[in-house]
């Protein structure tokens, strides 16, 4: 499979005021994401993982380096985005929330059919006319996923979409997401701070550190479906967690040395 | 006995299916908030009329007799009509000026600096000053109540609308940027609906400010309308007559509030879940 997302030497600094050094959010990050793959980015808060998604979504400028998303036709790549909170407009029905993000060049009738299809995929086929506040948190997030898929995105970016949900709902949605991914073959880049979630979902885990650098790039070869109850899965979770904390400690030491020098 | 779940689900409504008929009747008629508030006012009035001398608080019977006299000899509908016309015109102008001023205030530091001071000056002046100036400038024409009412009310509209713009959820705007939504769609589908509660608040407040201003203006600067009628009864030293017009005024405003604002509000906020609807 060809590369879908290519990130080369990406650096992002935020100015925080006159006379102060810029805050480093991303430091020389390079990796590519293969088409139709499922990649997660894990790391502590403030490591720049959400900023990376915002740069890919085109809502945040980068400082240096370059990024590209492969896509057909002219113009920019189409990005589907699932946020931490569902971000549905409460004054619109579920269906209107879907129709409202219709890309300007999409055919109205076709788009409606696609929207209906994805509402069915996420199990909301009977909720077209429901207002979001009458849905549970998990169902709202399903609608958010359907909305991101309805625009037929080149890539699907997900920023901790299940972190606000209770564990049972989150676990249901994870297996749903895995099913949706295998059916649609979308390229997914999924940010999370939950290592176990990364292991359950992804083919590949990219680790970011508090120093805003990429620390590791690990291929997850566990067979699917992956379940918490499987000892092989929990073994990988335990080993990976140890590895993750070693990497973070190493990064912290480097940061301290840099600050001293 | 109502079950526990049932109690929780209906606690704020007051009527439960298991209630005896007399209780249901009580809740559905007398204890309806609107009915109850009118009843409370009438009871207070009766007590006050019994305790205080006739020339301070006239009894309900005197007022009814006077009301009948006014209904037959004067033309109360015409007075109500002309006052409502003035109020609605001034209110429309206040909203038409206040809304864009509020949006401008929210759209940049320079506008905000200039307009904020201007709005504060307008807000600080007592409404009777505006009524006085408007009568001096425009005399008995329709312009006088429009200018006075609008000048008093538009600053409140502007401030409410400004708060409304400031309250728009930034996360929703970021979502709109991710999905590359055109500016006009963002304005119509995100900005306007999130501002609706503030627009309603400003419309209500502006309406109340306008009718207070116009009542005062009519008392000293007009030769028609409900305020002028109140002034006429005052000249005749008819306390019961003054009461008739005060009650009429209050009733008209209450009906307007119920008929117009509540209806629009129900429709605009139909997306809000009702109690018992939540899953």
Please check whether residue B271 touches A, CB under 8 A.
Answer: yes
- Tokens at residue B24, please? 């249901």
Q: Quick one: B121 and B29 in the same domain?
A: no
Examine residue B1 and state whether it is found in any structural domain, yes or no: no
Task: Please check whether residue A36 is in contact with residue A186, taking contact to mean a CB–CB distance below 8 angstroms.
Answer: yes
Whether residue B279 lies inside any domain: the answer is: no
Q: List pLDDT tens digits, range A66-101.
A: 999 999 888 889 999 999 999 999 999 999 999 999
Query: Mean pLDDT over residues B183-196, rounded?
Result: 91
Question: Measured between beta carbons, which residues in chain A are less than 8 angstroms from residue B278?
Answer: 133-134
Answer yes or no: do B97 and B180 share one domain: yes
Mind listing the pLDDT tens digit for each residue in B14-65?
555 667 777 777 777 666 777 788 888 889 988 988 888 877 888 888 899 9
Nearest to A134 among B172, B180, B273 (CB): B273
Q: Are residues B227 and B195 in the same domain?
A: yes
Determine the distance in angstroms separating the CA of B195 from the nearest CA of chain A, rounded to an integer: 12
Q: Would you say the pTM of this structure is higher than 0.90?
A: no
Chain A residues near residue B180 by CB distance under 8 angstroms: 103-104
pLDDT for B18: 67
- Does B246 fall in a domain? yes
| B171 & B144 share domain | yes
* A59 contact residues in B (CB cutoff 8 A): 174, 177-178
Q: What is the CATH number of the domain that holds B133?
A: 1.10.3720.10
Domain hosting residue B37, numbered range: 8-51
Determine whether the interchain pair A83/B175 forms a contact, defined as Cβ–Cβ distance below 8 Å. yes
CB contact under 8 A, A91 and B277: no
pLDDT value at position B20? 76
Indicate if B25 and B157 belong to the same structural domain: no
Predicted pLDDT at B11:
45
Residue B276 in any domain: the answer is no
- B180 and B250 share a domain? yes
Which pLDDT value is given to residue B274? 66
| Of the partner residues A81, A131, A139, the one whose CB lies closest to the CB of residue B178 | A81
CB pairs under 8 A between A and B: 51
**B153 lies in the same domain as B92:** yes
Task: Judge residue A11's burial from the number of C-beta atoms within 10 Å of its C-beta, 0-12 exposed, 13-18 middle, 19 or more buried.
Answer: middle
Among A97, A111, A134, A146, the strongest candidate for a mutation testing the B interface, having the largest count of B CBs within 10 A, is A134
Same domain, B38 and B78: no
Closest CA to A143 of A168, A176, A175: A176
Closest by Cβ to B193, choosing from A91, A131, A139: A91
Q: Is residue B262 included in any domain, yes or no?
A: yes
A140 pLDDT higher than 80: yes
Q: Are B164 and B224 members of one domain?
A: yes
Decide if B171 touches A, using CB distance below 8 A: yes
A98 touches chain B (CB under 8 A): no
Q: Number of structural domains, chain B?
A: 2
Residue B10 in this model has a pLDDT that exceeds 70: no
State the nearest Cα–Cα gap between B275 and chain A, in angstroms: 10
Q: How far apart are CA B79 and CA B228, in angstroms?
A: 8
Residue in chain A nearest B275 by alpha carbon: A134
Specify whether B28 is located in the same domain as B154. Answer: no
On whether residue B106 sits in a domain, the answer given is yes
DSSP character string of chain B: ---HHHHHHHTTT---TTS-HHHHHHHHTTTSHHHHHHHHHHHHHHHHHHHS-TTTS--HHHHHHHHHHHHHHS-HHHHHHHHHHHHHHHHHHHHHHHHHHHHHHHT-HHHHHHHHHHHHHHHHS-HHHHHHHHHHHHTTSTHHHHHHHHHHHHHHHHHHHHHHHHTS-HHHHHHHHHTT--HHHIIIIIIHHHHHHHHHHHHHHHHHHHHHHHHHHHHHH-SSSHHHHHHHHHHTT-HHHHHHHHHHHHHHHHHHIIIIIIHHHHHHTTTSPPTT---
On whether residue B2 sits in a domain, the answer given is: no
**Does the beta-carbon distance from B277 to A134 stay under 8 Å?**
yes
Mark whether B16 and B123 lie in a shared domain. no
Q: pLDDT tens-digit profile of B205-250? A: 999 999 999 999 999 999 999 999 999 999 998 899 999 999 999 8
Q: Is residue B64 part of a domain?
A: no
Which residues on chain A are in Cβ contact (under 8 Å) with B265? none
Q: Determine contact, residues B153/B93, Cβ cutoff 8 Å.
A: no
B186: contact with A, CB 8 A cutoff: no
Mean pLDDT of chain B: 86
The 10s digit of each residue's pLDDT in A162-185 is 998 999 999 999 999 999 999 999
Tell me the chain A residues in contact with residue B181 when contact means C-beta distances shorter than 8 Å.
Answer: 100-101
Q: Comparing A261 with A136, which gets the higher pLDDT?
A: A136
Q: Which residues in chain A are closer than 8 Å to B277, comparing Cβ atoms?
A: 134
Judgement on whether residues B42 and B102 belong to the same structural domain of the protein: no
Question: Using one digit for the tens of pLDDT, what is the confidence trace for B107-158?
Answer: 888 888 888 888 988 888 999 999 999 999 999 899 999 999 999 999 999 9
**Looking at residue B180, what is its pLDDT?**
92
How high is the pLDDT of residue B30?
Answer: 64
pLDDT in tens, A16-53: 888 888 888 999 999 999 999 999 999 998 889 999 99
Min distance B170 CA to chain A CA atoms (Å) = 10
């Amino acid at each position: 499979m060809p590369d879908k997302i290519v990130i080369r030497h990406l650096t992002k600094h935020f100015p925080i005021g006159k006379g102060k050094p810029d805050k480093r959010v991303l430091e020389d990050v390079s990796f590519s994401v293969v088409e139709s793959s499922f990649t997660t980015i894990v790391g502590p808060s403030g490591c720049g993982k959400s900023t990376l998604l915002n740069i890919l979504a085109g809502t945040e400028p980068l400082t240096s380096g370059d990024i590209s998303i492969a896509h057909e036709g002219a113009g920019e790549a189409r990005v589907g985005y699932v946020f931490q909170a569902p971000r549905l407009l409460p004054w619109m029905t579920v269906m209107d929330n879907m129709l409202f993000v219709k890309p300007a060049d999409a055919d109205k009738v076709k788009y409606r059919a696609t929207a209906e299809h994805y509402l069915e995929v996420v199990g909301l086929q009977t909720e077209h006319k429901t207002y979001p506040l009458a849905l549970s948190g998990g169902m709202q997030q399903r609608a958010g996923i359907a909305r991101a898929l309805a625009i037929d995105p080149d890539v699907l970016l997900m920023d901790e979409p299940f972190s606000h949900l209770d564990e049972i709902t989150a676990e249901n949605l994870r297996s749903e997401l895995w099913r949706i991914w295998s059916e649609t073959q979308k390229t997914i880049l999924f940010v999370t701070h939950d290592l176990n979630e990364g292991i359950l979902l992804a083919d590949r885990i990219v680790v970011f550190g508090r120093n805003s650098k990429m620390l590791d790039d690990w291929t997850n070869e566990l067979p699917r479906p992956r379940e918490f109850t499987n000892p092989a899965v929990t073994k990988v979770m335990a080993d990976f967690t140890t590895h993750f904390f070693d990497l973070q400690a190493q990064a912290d030491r480097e940061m301290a040395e840099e600050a001293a020098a | 006995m109502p079950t526990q779940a049932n109690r929780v689900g209906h606690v704020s409504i007051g009527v439960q299916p298991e209630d005896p008929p007399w209780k249901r009747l009580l809740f559905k008629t007398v204890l309806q908030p609107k009915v109850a508030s009118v009843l409370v006012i009438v009871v207070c009035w009766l007590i006050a009329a019994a305790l205080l001398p006739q020339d301070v608080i006239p009894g309900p019977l005197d007022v009814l007799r006077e009301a009948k006299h006014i209904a037959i000899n004067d033309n109360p509908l015409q007075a109500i009509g002309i006052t409502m016309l003035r109020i609605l015109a001034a209110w429309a102008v206040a909203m038409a000026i206040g809304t864009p001023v509020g949006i401008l205030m929210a759209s940049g530091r320079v506008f905000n600096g200039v307009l904020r001071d201007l709005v504060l000056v307008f807000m600080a002046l007592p409404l009777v000053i505006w009524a006085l100036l408007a009568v001096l400038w425009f005399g008995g024409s329709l312009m006088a109540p429009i200018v006075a009412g609008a000048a008093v009310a538009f600053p409140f509209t502007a401030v409410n609308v400004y708060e409304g713009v400031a309250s728009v959820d930034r996360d929703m705007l970021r979502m709109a940027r991710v999905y590359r939504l055109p500016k006009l769609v963002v304005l119509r589908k995100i900005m306007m609906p999130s501002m609706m509660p503030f627009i309603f608040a400003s419309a209500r407040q502006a309406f109340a400010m306008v009718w207070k201003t116009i009542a005062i203006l009519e008392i000293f600067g007009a030769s028609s309308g409900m305020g002028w009628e109140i002034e006429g009864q005052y000249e005749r030293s008819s306390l019961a007559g003054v009461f008739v017009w005060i009650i009429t005024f209050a009733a008209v405003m209450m009906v307007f509030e119920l008929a117009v604002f509540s209806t629009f509000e129900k429709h605009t906020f139909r997306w809000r879940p009702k109690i018992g609807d939540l899953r």
